[in-house]
Structure 1
Amino acid sequence: MSSSYMTKRALGNSLKAVLLEVPFHKVTVKKIVEHLGVNRQTFYYYFQDIQQLLTWTLKEEIQQSLSEDVFFENWRLGLLRILFYIQQNEQLCRTIFASMGRGAYEKAIYEIAYELFWKAEDLDLRDRDFDVNVLAVTFQGLVDQWLEQGLEEEPKQVLEGMCRVVSMYRPSQVG
């Protein structure tokens, strides 16, 4: 691993630690770098703002749980691993979801789901960009709802709901 990557990970871990102490809107670059023991310039060398660090950290952590074969062979397993990540990091995800960082959280979920659907070879998508966007937005919305309802359902139940959407989805025959 490069030192650049390790520094980014350390900043992300510092952000996560700070988020467990204060809501997102009270997180500052100063708190993140003080927690890590580095200077502000280190932060700004890698990230423009806290929102960008949050998005990068979430995407990185979720993608680490996905192996290459997931992307190419099994989008269902990829979605399930996203849901397990959320369940295993419930306190952090709830904190982010309930705060000003919700946009970064939703963006990370959307982007990973988009990539999973884009690379899925077993889906018959007529207008790939549009259809993949619809599926990714739907999944991100299901995840939002799942969090709002307190993660009451098991990840496999949420995945079953998404699979029903995918199986029922038919591109419009208009035009």
Structure 2
Amino acid sequence: MISSVAQNAWKSAVTSKIIYKFFRWFSNFKQNKLNIFNYIDDILYISSNQNNIVGGIFMSQITKKAFAASLKRMLSQKPLDKIKVIDITEDCEVNRQTFYYHFKDIYDLLEWIYTHEASKALDGKKTYDTWQQGFNHIFNYILENKSFALNTFNSVSREYLERYLYNETYTLLMGVIEEKSKDIPIREKDKIFIADFYKYAFVGILLDWIKKGMKENPKDIIDRLNTLIYGNIEEALERYRTDN
């Protein structure tokens, strides 16, 4: 028996439609609606027992991910400037008000994708021994979302892609610099300067790779980068030490 709470959620909450689509898009969900009702019941139970915080956050994330999936799919078919909010809401079977509850406009959604979804690509790989893996994860995210990245790159919204690349690369490099400078007296502004220097070099290579159609194997690029900068960060840190 489906509970009345779950039935009401299915009928009245627009997020329930998005949950249904979420399972179709992301999990190839093939079970019947009863299982989804039960799933919603679990969410509502958690929500009611934790002051609606957990369930509310979960619902919000599901909704945002559904909007993100819709935008990414549309970007594989047409440019960003041809996509309207109504296209996304109709695709997700919700009204415009639901979209505007979560995002100001499509560009706000685009930024959310890069700051919340794409940023996970780094996956903690920001040490001296793992920076190559971290950089490779960034390459792989772009490859896995090629249409999305290319459409962003070739639109007025290119700044969102560039900001993502700069932020992720800076985080990766600063992780390495903090590790290697642990026993070196050095000013914070000098560590930032070193990270910024390499950040612009790395992102310049990434953007050029995107511009050329992402044809070169990322591993080859990373191997050449590793050969080029091997030992250079340590040398730079030594030059900036304050006890010389």
Offset of residue 80 of structure 1: 0.5
Q: Quick one: structure 1 residues 146 and 39, their matched pair in 2 at CA, closer, same or farther if it must change by over 3 Å? A: same
1:54-133 to structure 2, matched below 5 A, reads 54-68=110-124, 70-72=125-127, 74-120=130-176, 121-124=178-181, 127-133=190-196
> What is aligned with 1:152?
215
Aligned length: 173
Paired residues of 2:122 and 2:168 also in contact (CA < 8 A): no
Query: Structure 1 CA distance, aligned partners of 2:116 and 2:76?
Result: 19
What 5-or-longer segments of structure 1 have no aligned partner?
A: none
> What is aligned with 2:71?
15
Offset of residue 19 of structure 1: 1.3
Q: Which amino acid aligns with 2:199?
A: A
Q: Which amino acid aligns with 1:150?
A: G
Paired residues of 1:33 and 1:39 also in contact (CA < 8 A): yes
Q: Quick one: structure 1 residues 55 and 139, their matched pair in 2 at CA, closer, same or farther if it must change by over 3 Å? A: farther
Q: Quick one: structure 1 residues 53 and 162, their matched pair in 2 at CA, closer, same or farther if it must change by over 3 Å? A: farther
Q: State the secondary structure of the residue aligned to 2:213.
A: coil
Q: Quick one: structure 1 residues 161 and 41, their matched pair in 2 at CA, closer, same or farther if it must change by over 3 Å? A: farther
Paired residues of 2:75 and 2:147 also in contact (CA < 8 A): no
Paired residues of 2:132 and 2:222 also in contact (CA < 8 A): yes
* Higher RCO structure, 1 or 2 (CA under 8 Å, sep 6+): 1
Q: Quick one: structure 1 residues 165 and 128, their matched pair in 2 at CA, closer, same or farther if it must change by over 3 Å? A: farther
What 5-or-longer segments of structure 2 have no aligned partner?
A: 1-56
Q: State the secondary structure of the residue aligned to 1:2.
A: helix
Q: Quick one: structure 1 residues 118 and 47, their matched pair in 2 at CA, closer, same or farther if it must change by over 3 Å? A: farther
Deviations 1:6-65 (A, max 9, x none): 111111111111212221122222222222122222222222232221122134333334
Query: Structure 1 CA distance, aligned partners of 2:95 and 2:162?
Result: 29
> What is aligned with 1:48?
104
> What is aligned with 1:135?
198
TM-score, with structure 1 as normaliser: 0.82
Query: Structure 2 CA distance, aligned partners of 1:59 and 1:123?
Result: 27
Paired residues of 1:54 and 1:105 also in contact (CA < 8 A): no
User: Which structure is larger by alpha-carbon Rg, 1 or 2?
Assistant: 2
Selected match of 1:37 from 79, 93, 97 = 93
Deviations 1:81-131 (A, max 9, x none): 111122222232222212222111111111111112222244458612222
TM-score, with structure 2 as normaliser: 0.61
The alignment-based identity, stated in percent, is: 31
